Amino acid sequence: MAYDELKSIIEKSSNIVFLGGAGVSTESNIPDFRSKDGLYNAVTKYGYPPETLISHSFFKSHTKEFFEYYKENLIYLDAKPNKAHYALAKLENEGKLKAVVTQNIDNLHQLAGSKNVFELHGSVFRNYCMNRNCGEFYSAEDIINMDGVPYCKKCGSIIKPDVVLYEEGLDNYVWSSAVNFIKNADVLIVGGTSLVVYPAAGLINYYQGNKLILINKSETSYDGKANLVIHDSIGKVLGEVCEID
């Protein structure tokens, strides 16, 4: 059985890296804005697809509309980690998992106890004044509680979420660290992602081992390259394999 095989692989390894996508967070009731529903809702309510609404150019030219969409669709303060998050934190605590590389921006891995987390697309929980001479930090709660466009209380400049928008490049340190951990991993577990969003999906190509595990509800274009494929919920699979109550 696939679950038994995965459990055996995990038990024998002390150099596992996890690469995760939106599917890890949807199990914590955070909608995937790239889904058909997310696309439909964005176009119906705002008149633009999500990729436009959270692009750098839209942030610059339609700042008010950007924050309307951002606050309603990307910040979920009440979200709680699910079994996948807790399983990964447990594996890290046991010395088996060396890094979590995530496309998500919700801080749930850290809330579950994971420490070595590389957030490819940043985090909604970090926000900074855009004035380089100020750079004041603001929390996600601060952003939610400010009406309309959030302005710095110290200098009056716009506050920008520390989230990688469309048209923006990934952080060099985060990217190079993710590449390094994946390249040197014994086991690479990829979960909750359809592997269609680049450059994040391209990280899988840096893996040089022979224990590539894909866990996703639907098929991906990389299924044929994997050593083990499980089409199921990431929380269900990791929760059961890692014995999370």
Q: Percent of the chain scored above 70 by pLDDT?
A: 100
- The answer, yes or no, to whether residue 1 has pLDDT greater than 80, is no
Q: Percent of the chain scored above 90 by pLDDT?
A: 89
pLDDT in tens, 206-242: 999 999 999 999 999 999 999 999 999 999 999 999 9
DSSP 206: G
Segment holding 128, helix H or strand E: strand 122-129
pLDDT in tens, 151-189: 999 999 999 999 999 999 999 999 999 999 999 999 999
- The answer, yes or no, to whether residue 36 has pLDDT greater than 90, is no
Q: Please say whether the beta carbons of 85 and 115 come within 8 A.
A: no
- Domains of the chain, first to last: 2-29+81-121+169-241 (3.40.50.1220), 36-73 (no CATH), 124-163 (3.30.1600.10)
Q: Which amino acid is located at 164 in the chain?
A: V
User: Mean pLDDT score of the chain, rounded to an integer?
Assistant: 95
Distance of CA 138 to the CA centre of its chain: 20
Two structure tokens written together for 59 = 């942030």
Predicted TM-score (pTM) of the model is: 0.94
Task: Mark 17-27 as b/e (b = at least 16 C-beta within 10 Å).
Answer: bbbbbbbbbbb
Q: Which amino acid is located at 143 in the chain?
A: I
Q: Which residues participate in catalysis according to the annotation?
A: 121
- The answer, yes or no, to whether residue 25 has pLDDT greater than 80, is yes
Residue 11 CA: distances (Å) to CA of 125, 207, 230 = 34, 20, 18
